[in-house]
A and B are shown apart, each in its own frame.
Chain A
Amino acid sequence: MIRFDGVFKAYPKGVLALKEVTFHLAKGEFVFLTGHSGAGKSTVLRLVYAEELPTSGEVRVSGFSTARLMRREVPRLRRRIGIVFQDFRLLEDRTAEENVAFALEVTGARRSIIAPKATRVLAQVGLAAKSQAYPRELSGGEQQRVAIARALVNDPPVLLADEPTGNLDERASRGVFQLLRDINANGTAVVMATHDLDIVRQTNYRVIELQDGAVVFDSAVDEPERGRAVR
């Protein structure tokens, strides 16, 4: 599903964001990416959705390889990945349903399937009643659910979540995390970057810890008994 092989990422002025990062994420797996701010979690995610390319090494995602990736292939890669951010990144002037439908429209989906599918996914994240609400009319947790619905609407095999609970209170965080677990239980692989160790400790999911751009702990390697997800 996702494979990092000896990935280095250097930025101009010589800042080394990732150092020889190697890991493999299987289909349907749930993995936490942990580490302090600046450890490289977001960089790993950006490499997965090809916002950036590795300086050396190779990233493979769902049949695409950064070694051969053409610019025009990036949109096709992203349609196979759902992405959720800490700041939700919703379009403020569109309703919840329009935000979700938007992700289908860009793929050229038929009009007849867009609205029913957007409605169904919103129901799946528990927001059927608020499909016509604008983001400003929703709580943080609800906005994040809309973002998750948008990420799911194209049925991606993998969902990336970059600090999805970072802007939420404890109750909303629990709800969003439970939603991600449910999504994973339905077969979608989930990569969740977080520095919230309470959430990490709640489950037995695999944990990859980054420090100064290097993988310092991978439970699949260092604690094999923890490696498999508990669904």
Chain B
Amino acid sequence: MRLVMREALLSFRRSPALSALSVTTIAFALFVFGLFALTALNLRNALTQVEERVEIVMYLMRGTPVEAATMAIGDIESFPEVSTVTFVTEDQALDRARRELVELQGVFDDLSANPLPASLEIRLAPGYRDVTHVRAVAERLRGFRFAEDIRFGDDWVTKLDRLRNVAGAVGFVIGGAFAVAAVIIIGTTIRMSVMHRSREIEIMRLVGATDGFIRRPFLVDGAIKGSLGGTIAIGLCYAAFVLLANNVLQGSFFSTQQATLLVLAGMALGLAASSLSVGRHLRKI
């Protein structure tokens, strides 16, 4: 292992310019991908925040006993799609209306009786906030005999669905393209550095080195370059994020796990590219 590490590190010392070029190329390939991932991540966060507002309101018939409403809450909470159910009494509904609709304050003051019905506000669990599930839950709620009306903003949920689908498809296509470009660039870069050492590989084989012996320093070399490139890419992404967050928009950066994943992806790509390039070279000679 000592020999493998020594040989891998020697390659940096022997051709520092090529090694620096490889690391820089890998860093920029991953930086572009990382920027896209960061944009996608923030877009997803924004969508999730909007999704959290998806809600079904079941208005109850006047005079519905509290016990019946409480039992219904238990039933509805047991639906797999449902996250929380909140019971809003007639008085709470009026209080809320007074608070939120300040411009109608005079109208509320003139009321002799509370015209607002009690309701159940049902929030859905993540993954069930699309139009199909919302409609299915609404349909089931209609089965309660004291349900006066069910509202969920069909139009709004449908638009949200479309936005989510478009964002997903665009993310998949563009993200995929960036990922493929990064893989190709990293593969080519590592291949260049392997080709640069083809004479060394040839000599190693002539003096009786096994394929594994030849391969190992290149794998370590590829992994180091990939990791370094990934780390620099994270640094560049952070610099870009700070620049944008300070001047243009608010957002969130990668979590430690996501950042580690990008570095690991760089390492894995470096490793895989080295393995393929050396393998091809070993077969060729």
Contacts and interface: CB of A to CB of B under 8 A. Distances in A.
A181 interface: no
Interface of A: 49, 72, 75-79, 83, 89-91, 93, 102-103, 105-108, 150, 154
Interface in B1-17: 3, 14
B80 interface: no
Interface residues of B, number: 15
Interface stretch (B19-27, B177-185, B198-206): B198-206
17 contacts: A72-B210, A75-B208, A75-B211, A75-B213, A78-B207, A78-B208, A83-B207, A89-B199, A89-B206, A90-B203, A93-B14, A102-B203, A102-B204, A102-B207, A103-B208, A106-B204, A154-B208
B208 A89 contact: no
A106 B200 contact: no
B205 A89 contact: no
Given A89-B199, A91-B200, A93-B14, A78 B210 contact: no
B284 to A, nearest CB: 12
B209 interface: yes
B207 A103 contact: yes
The DSSP consensus for interface residues of chain B is helix
A89 B209 contact: no
Contacts of A93: 14
Contacts of B210: 72, 75, 106
Contact of B205 (A78, A108, A150): A78
A78 B209 CA distance: 9
A89 B14 contact: no
Interface string B183-205: 00000000000000001101111
Given A89-B199, A105-B3, A49 B206 contact: yes
B14 A106 contact: no
Contacts of B199: 89, 91
* Leading 10 A-B pairs by shortest Cβ distance: A106-B209, A79-B208, A78-B208, A103-B207, A75-B208, A75-B210, A93-B14, A83-B206, A89-B203, A106-B207
Contacts of B200: 91
